[in-house]
Amino acid sequence: MAQGTCEKPDCTVAATGTCLLSHANLGECPHFRSGESAGDVVVPKTEPAAAVPEIVISEKKSGRTFHLGAELGVEDALEVTSARYGHLIGVLGSTDAGKTCFLSSLYLMASGGTLPAPYQFAGSLSLQAFEDRARGLRQWKGGQLPNQLADHTILSDPRQPSLLHLAIRETNAERRRFDLLLTDLPGEWTDNLVLRANHAQSFRFLQRADGIILLVDGTMLMSDTQRHAELQRMRYFTERLANDVNVSRDTPFVILVTKSDEIEMKMPPAASDLCDYVAGLGFPATKISAASFSRKPETFKSGTGVFSAIETVLSYQPSSNSAASESTTFEPGARTFRRFRG
Ligand SMILES: Nc1nc2c(ncn2[C@@H]2O[C@H](COP(=O)(O)OP(=O)(O)O)[C@@H](O)[C@H]2O)c(=O)[nH]1
Ligand SMILES: [Mg+2]
């Protein structure tokens, strides 16, 4: 047994036996301090295939907290992915657009083994964060979903984005693994950026995003009274992402129309307008109808469109002859995407 203490905040070595920075030999990790003092983390020196690591955790060390399975900070996430590529996906939208429900739906499909073939759940460093979000969804009363499916998102540090980690693996011959890093930002972040350009700083981490899933409430986009205001807000928001945050123009955008179970899975014309607007800003853009948790499960399945959004981002391949000013749209879910002038 290697005994010692990991001084890296958020490292889950005590729970998983796996070093956050992927060091097979813990002695090589710069954050690991070996020692025999009682109450320190005890992890196995070698990892026999089926051995369960012996774990002792103590809060004795000053200034040392284990956030087992909680959200990752940006720095932590980048370190996690120093060993392998992590796909950073911004899950954005107004308050109540359905961001947290989208993430919970994805997690429940993954952990429940119901991802579409050939994908399979391959672990998460933020299990607790996902479980916290999914808690409300386990409290079904009389077969009915509660009205409020998720708690309002609150960040532990309101100025720093936090990320949820979900690894998936292909079960086919390729067996590719994807480490997804997904944001769950409070809607106020969107509101603030719409109102003031100086909030762009908080979104700067999206400059390296592999994709943006922009959630818009389908019922609002179908409403005569709310449609215009929401569309205008999303236009301002995406324009800020383009011009103030400077999100790279080859970042694919998925306009995800949420709560589509309540609008008979119809694509609202306003969603097409928004998709064209985003494409006009220079981003490859597409639109998908989704129902993270359907209120009409007998007609529309829960989880519809959720994984398609992820797959669309993962399989997006920038065209070699793209130009920043080109207006582009692409087909969702396809393995290869065509670009064409709008
Ligand atoms: N009918 C329906 N309602 C949904 C769906 N997803 C979310 N909602 C509703 O929208 C509310 C807000 O969702 P939430 O994920 O908390 O929004 P967020 O503020 O963007 O994180 C939930 O409490 C649900 O009532 C869905 O797929 N179908
Ligand atoms: Mg939320």
Mean pLDDT, the chain, rounded, equals 80
Kindly state whether residues 43 and 150 are assigned to the same domain: no
Condensed to tens digits (0 to 9), the pLDDT of residues 22-51 reads: 666 777 777 777 765 444 444 444 344 444
Ligand of minimum distance to the alpha carbon of 185: 2
Per the domain annotation, does 321 fall within a domain? no
Q: Which of 71, 92, 95, 96 to mutate to test the pocket of ligand 1 (most atoms within 8 A of CB)?
A: 96
- 149 Cβ below 6 A of ligand 1: yes
User: Could you please report the per-residue DSSP string of 225-289?
Assistant: TTHHHHHHHHHHHHHHHHHTS---TTS-EEEEEE-GGGGTT---HHHHHHHHHHHHTT--EEEEE
Q: Is residue 156 part of a domain?
A: yes
Query: Buried b vs exposed e over 153-189: b needs ≥16 C-beta within 10 Å?
Result: beeeeeeebbbbbbbbbeeeeeeeebbbbbbbbbbbb
Same domain, 49 and 117: no
**Which atom, in ligand 1's list, is nearest to the CA of 215?**
20
Q: Examine the domain organization and report whether 143 and 287 are in the same domain.
A: yes
Among the listed ranges 51-55, 111-115, 180-184, 311-315, which one has the minimum average pLDDT value? 51-55
Q: Measured in angstroms, how far is the CA atom of residue 185 from the centroid of ligand 2?
A: 7
Considering 67, 97, 125, which residue would you say is the last residue of a domain?
A: 67
CA distances from 176 to 87, 167, 179 (A): 13, 11, 10
Q: Are 135 and 75 in contact (CB under 8 A)?
A: no
Name the least confident of 4-18, 142-156, 271-285, 325-339.
325-339
How far is ligand 2, taken at its centre, from the CA of residue 52, in Å?
A: 35
Protein residues with C-beta less than 5 angstroms from the ion ligand 2 = 99-100, 153
Looking up residue 109, the CATH number of its domain turns out to be 3.40.50.300
Reported pTM: 0.76
Give yes or no: residues 87 and 51 share one domain: no
Q: How far is CA 71 from CA 67, 74, 315, 320, in A?
A: 8, 10, 25, 35
79 domain-assigned:
yes
Is 335 within the bounds of a domain? no
* Pocket of ligand 1 contains residue 252 by CB under 6 Å: no
Backbone angles phi, psi at 293, to 5 degrees: -135, 100
pLDDT mean over 318-324: 52
For tokens 């998709």, the residue is 275
**Nearest partner of 105 among 130, 86, 72, 82, judged by Cα:** 130
Decide: 101 in ligand 1 pocket, CB within 6 A: yes
Q: Are residues 172 and 291 in the same domain?
A: yes
User: Any idea which residue has 């909680």 for tokens?
Assistant: 70
Decide: 208 and 214 in contact? Cβ < 8 Å. Answer: no
List, for residues 85-128, the tens digit of each pLDDT value.
899 999 999 999 999 999 999 999 999 899 999 999 999 989 98
H helix intervals, the chain = 13-16, 74-80, 99-111, 127-134, 187-195, 218-221, 227-243, 269-280, 306-314
- Mark whether 196 and 58 lie in a shared domain: no
71 within ligand 1 shell (Cβ under 6 A): no
pLDDT at 55 exceeding the cut of 50: no
State if residue 253 touches ligand 1 by the CB under 6 angstroms criterion. no
User: Which range is most confident: 73-82, 150-159, 190-199, 295-304?
Assistant: 295-304
Compute the distance from residue 11 Cα to the ligand 2 centre, in Å: 25
Same domain, 296 and 149: yes
Q: Within a domain: residue 329?
A: no
Residue type for 84, please?
R
Q: Are 319 and 330 spatial neighbours (Cβ–Cβ below 8 Å)?
A: no
Task: Kindly state whether residue 41 falls inside one of the protein's structural domains.
Answer: yes
Binning pLDDT at 50, 70 and 90, where does residue 218 land? Answer: very high
The token pair at 292 is 């993270």
- Are the beta carbons of 248 and 212 closer than 8 angstroms? no
In this predicted structure, the answer to whether residue 54 has a pLDDT above a threshold of 70 is no
Residue 97 CA to ligand 1 center (angstroms) comes to 6
Give distance in angstroms: CA of 92 to centre of ligand 2: 10
Query: Per-residue DSSP letters for 148-177?
Result: --SPPP--SSTTS-EEEEEEEEE-STT--E
pLDDT band at residue 188 using 50, 70 and 90 as cut-offs:
confident
Max Cα–Cα distance, the chain, nearest Å: 68
Q: Does 334 reside within a domain? A: no
User: Is ligand 1 within 6 A of the CB of residue 187?
Assistant: yes
Residues 34 and 147 occupy one common structural domain? no
Number of domains in the chain: 2
On whether both 31 and 130 belong to a single domain, the answer is no
Same-domain check for residues 227 and 185: yes
Choose one of 40, 67, 94: the last residue of a domain: 67
Q: Describe the crossing of helices 227-243 and 187-195 by its angle, rounded to 10 degrees.
A: 80
Edge-first strand order for the sheet with 41-43 is: 32-34, 2-6, 41-43
Q: Is the CB of 185 under 6 A from ligand 1?
A: no
Tell which one of 101, 139, 154, 216 to mutate to probe ligand 1, the residue whose CB is within 8 A of the most ligand atoms: 101
Domain span including residue 182:
72-314
Q: Which atom of ligand 1 is nearest to the CA of 153?
A: 21
Indicate whether 328 belongs to any domain: no
Among the bound ligands, the one closest to the CA of 190: 1
Among candidate residues 67, 95, 124, the one where a domain is terminated: 67
pLDDT beyond 50 at 333: no
CA 298 – ligand 2 centroid, Å: 26
The answer, yes or no, to whether any atom of ligand 1 lies below 6 A from the CB of 261, is yes
Same domain, 180 and 219: yes
Examine the domain organization and report whether 260 and 299 are in the same domain: yes
For residue 209, the CA-to-ligand 2 centroid distance in Å is 20
Q: What was the pLDDT predicted at 75?
A: 75
> Which residue(s) pair with 120 in the sheet?
169
